[in-house]
Amino acid sequence: MKKLRLILLVAGVALAGACAMVWQQYQSFLGKPLDIASGLQLQVSRGSTVRSVITDLHRQGITRSDWKWRLLTRLQPVTIRAGEYALSAGLNPPGLLALLSSGEVIQYRFTIIEGWTFSQLKDALARDSILVQDLPGLDGDAHILNAIEADKDHPEGWFLPETYQYVRGDSDLDILRRSHQAMLEELAVAWENRRDNFPIDTPYGLLTLASIVEKESALDSERADIAGVFIRRLESGWRLETDPTVIYGLGDRYDGDIRRRDLDTDTPYNTYTRFGLPPTPIAMPGKSALAAAASPAEGTAMFFVASGAGGHVFSDTLDEHNSAVRKMLRKRP
């Protein structure tokens, strides 16, 4: 009996020692950083499990898929989220699980520039190497509008210039969908805040005017003044006579110079030959241009010309305007 108790005692001591050794190994595992190179990115696909992710990291030599990971995931169960994660040097196993369950995936940015045309927007989307490229599979702008559920006849102007964050796996259509919704909301705000006795009947007309204001000046400080000139011309029954609409109507024929014959050749966008607004916007206006078009500055100016210093000179009469034009021409080298 004494011998049996001795055997059991020795076995117990051995087992306790073994357990202590195992627990020590486990504790060391928890605190030891994974073998991560600087800037490593981990893509977790939809439907992935912790086990499949650890197996993938084992193949890459970042960690060993063994009993310590199985014990950790039993003691610390988590639900991981799909996406692309940045793994930093010094990250230990519990930290990895915390990261994968946080959903803090890598964010990318795509910026739509004020004054871009829809064609320029599509070109920029095509150059983005992270976005999934769905646009090449669509036949024309009508199919693009249908794909993003935009109930519009023409895409120009309907996407709000802004910086949009996205994650790997998002597509060019996702950016278009979000920027279109943002423009709908911003246009609604501008239309709601339009001045009394506004001479434009529809939000689409406001969007069109804002696109012209956007192309005429990059200075927030004078956009309301430019909008005021155009509003007064509309109210007075004048032609708008704005070069950016003519340039838009020329399309690919525009080579950087606008000539007298361009101003004299009638197109739907030639505001030198036609009264009123052009049939569609000519670019994507930003928030500032939308606000300026909706709330144009009061005043009496009917003309403006580039000052040569980044802004414009505003004039009430044609004689004053012609004098300002001559002064601007004399400044040219």
Q: What is the pLDDT of residue 17?
A: 54
Cα–Cα dist 63/61, whole Å? 6
pLDDT, one tens digit per residue, over 150-196 is: 999 999 999 999 999 999 999 999 999 999 999 999 999 999 999 99
Q: What is the pLDDT of residue 333?
A: 58
For 332, residues 6+ apart whose C-beta sits below 8 A from its C-beta are 308
Contact 292, 299 (CB under 8 A): no
Residues of the chain short of pLDDT 50, as ranges, are 4, 6, 8-11, 13
Contacts of range 195-203, beta carbons closer than 8 Å, 24 or more positions apart = 195/294, 195/295, 195/296, 198/294, 199/231, 199/234, 199/235, 200/234, 200/277
Q: Is 198 exposed, middle or buried (0-12, 13-18, 19+ CB in 10 A)?
A: middle
Q: What is the pLDDT of residue 1?
A: 58
Identify which of 234, 230, 238 has the alpha carbon closest to the alpha carbon of residue 212: 230
Q: What is the pLDDT of residue 76?
A: 87
Q: Please tell me the total number of residues recorded for the chain in this structure.
A: 333
